[in-house]
Each structure stands twice: as C-alpha cells, then as structure tokens.
Structure 1
Amino acid sequence: MSVSHLSLVSVQPFLMAASAGTYCELQHSRDHFLTEISCFELARHTQVKLVPDCFSSLLLRCGGDFDPVMAAPADAPERSLDLPQGAYYCVRFTPLSSYALYRVLGGMREFSGRVLDARAIFPDIGELCRSLSGEPVRAQARRAINAYFDTKLRHSPIDPVVHRAISDIIVSNGSITGAGLSAACGLSSRQLYNIFRGRVGLSPKSFSRALRFQNALYRLVKPTDVPFTPYEFNYYDQSHFLHEFKACCGMLPAQLLALLGGC
C-alpha cells in the first residue's frame, strides 16, 4: 500500500492517510522549522484532498512533469491536488516556518489555505528535484533535502511571541483559552491575533482546531490498545467530536476508517 502524508486524505480508496508522529515537538534536529521527510509512491493518477492542518507541507516528485507545491496551513477543507503516478517526497514544516517561508513573497498577507508554487518561495528548488530523481536510496535523498533547507532556514528569525503562543497551544492540545493565551504572551487579544495570524497564517483559535483534528486523525489511523475517547483531544463530547471531524475531513471517522480498510 502506498502511503501519503497525514495532511493528505484521499478522496479515492487506494490512498491511505499516513502517520506523521505527534505534534508535541516543535524542534527537530538542529532547527525549529523542519520536522520530517516522508516518501510515498502512487501506482496511478490520484486526486488527493487537503484537510485542515496547522503545519506546512512541501510536495516534491522524483522526476517527471510535476511542479513542486507548498500547502499552507489551513483550518478548513480547501481543494484537491491531482498527483500523477510516481514517487514523492513530502517535507513537513513546523508552524514557526511560516514567517520564514512566506515573507519572501512580499505583500502576501493572506497565505493560509493556499497551495503555492514552491518555486516562488525557493527559486532554485528545481535543482533539488533533479537531484532527488538520481537518488536511489531514500536515506540519501532525505540527507539532501535536509541539507537544502538547512541552508535556507538556518538564520531565519523566530518571533518570541509566536513561539510562546504555539508552545502553549500544543502543550494544552488546543484547550488554552484566548484570554489565557493573551495573558501568557503579555498582549491584548487583538494584538496577539494580528501577530499570530500574520506569522502563522491562522488565528490562534483556528490553529487549535486544526491541531486537535490532526492529533485525533493520527490517533484514528494509528490505534493503540487504549480506547479512543474524544475527551483526550479536548472535545466536549462525542457529538462535538463527530461534528468537528466531519467539518474538517468531509466524512465521519467510521467512514474514513472504512475507506482506509478497503485500501
């Protein structure tokens, strides 16, 4: 079975939602921006639906006619991607990367929920794509991707207010109130909203909603021996969870699991 990234949920039954680990880690290896690199293969042309996510995802194809794309953080189902047959790498970025990645576009005030041409952000990314087509070993390809983004993001600024707000939201799994978050950051609600929205692409409330959904989605597709309950993801009750999940995914959890079970 081919595996995609967690932020990609197929609208067809032959692509599986993937595991991307928990989102409690803001920092990966030497920086605060890159969290993981996953690889998947598609046996046929596939339409993939984007679902809410507070992380950014870069999609690279190993050779072929596919321009690399960057999926910006989103709090609602937005659009679908038509992916040709082939092998792909998905590069996962933390929410702190938004400031570094999207400010280079200049004047783009609203980048959330958009699929952007990655070449507008990284003009030389075509060279990386070409190098990946010649990498037979995935470990070598991951090293090449890590090295590329290490040079791009190494000296990027991190807004301390955004860092504090993101940390508090993640530690609380999205349950911290707006008033509590504002007090922790020492700002008014309006000031925090404007800073957070401008740097991350989502409001703190939308960020919390996407985070809870992604964590619940991960838990569903990677079950454990502990029974699933909506309360562990700070949903009020089962009805609230089902309503939120369908709003984010377009289907109920049981329908998604049936879809994945048929893959």
Structure 2
Amino acid sequence: MANLTGKSAFVTGGSRGIGAGIARRLAADGANVAITYTKGREAAASVVDEIERAGGKAMAVQAEATDAKAVAAAVDQAVAAYGRLDVLVNNAGTAIPKPFEEATLEELDRVIDINVRGTLIATHAALKHMKDGGRIIMIGSSVGERMMTPGLAAYAATKGAIKMFVQGLSREVGNRGITVNNVQPGPIDTDLNPAAGDWATPQIANTALKRYGHVNDIAAMVAFVAGPEASYITGTSLTVDGGTNA
C-alpha cells in the first residue's frame, strides 16, 4: 500500500513501542516520517535506520514533549526537511500505575504535563504548518472512556481530556478539511506494559479476547485514519482494545 505517498508525518514519542510501530507503518505506506524522542537516542536512530533500509525517509529529533520551544523547533525542522506537514500523531505519553493516594504531586503533574499539555503543544505547533486536508491523530486510551483498572485514575483522566479535545478541535479545523481523531488502545504488548508482566493479569481478564494486542494493531488503525479512505471520519474515538470496553 502507498496511500501516503508524498505526505509528511510527525510522530511524537516515536523511538519505541506504539510510536515506533506507527512510524514504521506510516513510512511503509509511503509517508516521509519525523519522530521525536526524549532520551532514547539510539532507539530513535534504530527506527530511522529500519525505515531507511526499507526504502523510506525518516528523521529523529530530540524534543521533550512538554518543552514548547523544542517541539515547535522539531516541527519546523521536519517541515524544512520534507517541505510540508500532512499528518500529526500525538503519541508521546506516560502513566504511573499506582493507587492515586500513593502518587506524589510531582508524579501527577508529570502525567498531566506529558499527556495533556504535551498534546496541546504539538498540535498548536503543527497546525501552523498543516496543509488543508491534513490529519491530526491522538493516541488516547480505552480507559479514557471506561475505567476498570485500579491504579490508573489520573492517567484515565488525562485520556478523557484528550477525547474531549478531539471533539472540540475537530469542529474548529473541519472547514480546512483537517480531520481530528482519537485512537484508543487497550492493553498492548510493549516494554512499558508487557503482556508477560504481573500487572497484565487484570488487564487480560478485562478483554473479550483474553489477550494483549500488538503494536501493529494500533499502527494499522492510525494508518487507516491517516489515509484517504478516512476523509469523512472526524471528531471520533476509535477503540482498539480486544473488547475491553465491550
């Protein structure tokens, strides 16, 4: 498939896990891809190398998600390299899996800053460059819509906020043909949330399929929403959770 040939995509937090999978898939579909990373320079370089060895174009830029100047500079750098910006994927995020009362205020601030403020920062920077007909895609969470996992109260609140941001923003940019959507993963097997981990047991129990999903499951949905066949889908949340919220 080459649905994104000639397009340029910017993926925050693209050095590992879901973000890396999204970057690889968008590149495979023809897009020139830029990813951001915070500390994982080698991991980011590996993603870029893999994409380039497969014949695609990619670049990695260090930018902390909460640093507005760094993120804006990263967006500018991607636009300078590729000449345009068509797709933004707000993937950068974090969670602190512990009971709310046990979390420190510093930990809570970090979850809010990365998951909410970081998303607003990247979207604000990207919209200055985005072409009409562009795509803005958030990586939310199934717990942003229905919360059944103890220890993720603050995280769920941030993803619920993203869900509402998507609805509101879609109405502000719709006259430019820009779509805004929210892909909501359930339990996905990554380094941060491994399917073999102790914390996985209650998550698996909550799914209808009784298993974790894979990074490619999320990347496939993002690629669809980024492509031409999804031009009439906007302001919505698309849940990929193995039936967790069924």
Which of 1 and 2 has higher RCO (CA within 8 Å, sep 6+)? 1
- For normalisation by structure 2, the TM-score amounts to 0.32
Determine which structure has more spread, i.e. the larger CA radius of gyration.
Answer: 1
Instruction: Report the structure, 1 or 2, having the larger helix content.
Output: 2
- What TM-score, normalized by structure 1, do the two folds share? 0.30
